[in-house]
Amino acid sequence: MQENRVVVTGLGIISPVGNDVSSFWQAIKEGKSGVGPITYFDPAGFDSRIAGEVKGFDPALYGLTHKDTKRMDQFVQFAVASAKQAITQSGLDLAKEDRERIGALIGSGIGSLHTIEEQHKIYLNKGPSRLSPFLIPMLIVNEAAGQVGIVYGLKGPNSCVATACASGSHSIGEAFRILERGDADVMVAGGTESCIVATGVGGFCALKGLSMRNNEPQKASRPFDKERDGFIMAEGCGLVVLETLDHAKKRNAKILAEIVGYGMTCDAYHMTAPDPQGDGASRAMNLALKDSHLNPQDVDYINAHGTSTKLNDKLETLAIKRAMGDYAKKVAVSSTKSMTGHLLGAAGGVEFVVCCLALQDGVVPPTINYEYPDPECDLDYVPNTARKMSLEVCMSNSLGFGGHNATLIVKKFKG
């Protein structure tokens, strides 16, 4: 059976550095950090007191009423907003489309810790009779995809992926497969997250995963730098509109890029630590290359998972070397988490958007805060300043707790 080609026609972003694609991309190119002191709760007593919070988000701009927001946790609101951006950019006229052929596949690593915390306090203080009837539908991870389907009337395949920090990439990859095999014409896909609450921050502090550079928040996320001491929790959403090429051509859509490869593997090693040989991540890259019928030398840029933790950055570097061979030292690699922080389940969606924008603009975003080279991290990390270069193919890596690995490959559309 002939597989459909799949293209990107719309992008949507809510992030710590901008709540639309234009402002987000400008901040990324300029190397601006969205990390600052936590304001959502009093973080006194926490080892890490900084995060990448979304600023100035207004649900009303996306048609959500006060009643709507009382029934949707913030990670769901972010998804509805990003979906509207992406659908608008795509030029889809939903009134003229067969909505049974349009679906949504949106992942989240954690879902709603905010609702759980809030409702648990109500239970303790006022008893079970005062719990919200919307407690369960507000906290479950699938409601992001479900609400996007409801708000925009999308009746096609609708699902979610929860693979920790690989959720957004897996969601885009699985939506790609749905379109390849012809089970839909259009998919809205990516990841969303909003869990900067005491339980979330406290849990990652207990894991010793977060940076404690509290006095220099904008310098705290420093992937591949020798002085890195942990990641920065962040929130937001990154979604894309994917279409079969035939469908996009029939409606004369502006095509932003073509998704050509997807690989997924498991480390089968540890609940939080990556495989010490970089095996799972390298196999995901190799599978994505095989899927796309490309060689390592065809890849111009890799958006690394690059969390700013000691283990991840060292072992992802090793994985890139295993997958790319001698070419690893020549390919441009950067981590935009140096600016956004780590959006957990939304990271892969946001970083896939970055790859699409990089292809359009011919700009590789920087890894900011790269000051002290680490001998174990010795690739070209595009330090501190964006780089203009001709780009044809970009790769995006996502690695999640539990050993989940996902790699996506997107290329400039050539017709």
**Contact predicate 316/267, CB 8 Å:** no
Quote the DSSP letter at residue 275. P
The Cα 412–Cα 415 span in angstroms is 9
| CATH class of this structure's domain 261-411 | alpha beta
pLDDT at res. 137: 93
C-alpha triplet 349, 382, 326: angle, nearest 5°: 95
- Residue corresponding to tokens 């303790």: 124
User: What is the residue-wise DSSP string for 13-70?
Assistant: EEBTTBSSHHHHHHHHHHT----EE--SS--TT-S--EEB---S--GGGGT--HHHHH
Give, for 248, the enclosing helix (H) or strand (E).
helix 245-250
Positive or negative torsion for Cα 145, 141, 165, 214: positive
305 flagged as catalytic: yes
Angle, helices 74-90 vs 143-152, to 10°: value is: 50
Positive or negative torsion for Cα 58, 61, 66, 69: negative
- Residues in the chain predicted with pLDDT less than 50, given as ranges, are none
Note the maximum CA span of the chain.
64
User: What is the residue-wise DSSP string for 314-344?
Assistant: HHHHHHHHHHHGGGGGTSEEE-THHHH-B-G
Which member of 195, 342, 356, 394 is catalytic? 342
SS3 for 241? strand
Angle, helices 198-206 vs 113-126, to 10°: value is: 110
Count of CB atoms within 10 A of residue 226's CB?
A: 15
165 flagged as catalytic: yes
120 flagged as catalytic: no
**Contact predicate 211/308, CB 8 Å:** yes
**Contact predicate 304/316, CB 8 Å:** yes
Topology annotation, domain 7-250: Peroxisomal Thiolase; Chain A, domain 1 (3.40.47)
Q: Kindly state the tokens that stand for 3.
A: 């597989």
The Cα 353–Cα 414 span in angstroms is 19
User: What is the residue-wise DSSP string for 189-233?
Assistant: EEEEE---SHHHHHHHHHTT-B---TT-GGGS--TTBTT---B-B
Phi/psi at 156 (nearest 5 deg)?
A: -85, -160
**Contact predicate 109/193, CB 8 Å:** yes
pLDDT at res. 1: 63
Which member of 114, 160, 165, 237 is catalytic? 165
Q: Kindly state the tokens that stand for 390.
A: 């001709």
Which member of 170, 247, 305, 404 is catalytic? 305
Buried-state track 183-221, b at ≥16 Cβ within 10 A, e below 16: ebbbbbbbbbbbbbbbebbbbbbeeebbbebbeebbbbb
How does pLDDT run across 208-261, given as a tens digit for each residue? 999 999 999 999 999 999 999 999 999 999 999 999 999 999 999 999 999 999
The Cα 411–Cα 7 span in angstroms is 9
Count the helix, strand and coil residues of the chain and give each as a percent rounded to the nearest 5.
40, 20, 40
Q: Where are the domains of the chain?
A: 7-250, 261-411
pLDDT at res. 169: 98
Same fold, 7-250 and 261-411: yes
The Cα 224–Cα 334 span in angstroms is 9
pLDDT at res. 240: 98
**Contact predicate 105/157, CB 8 Å:** yes
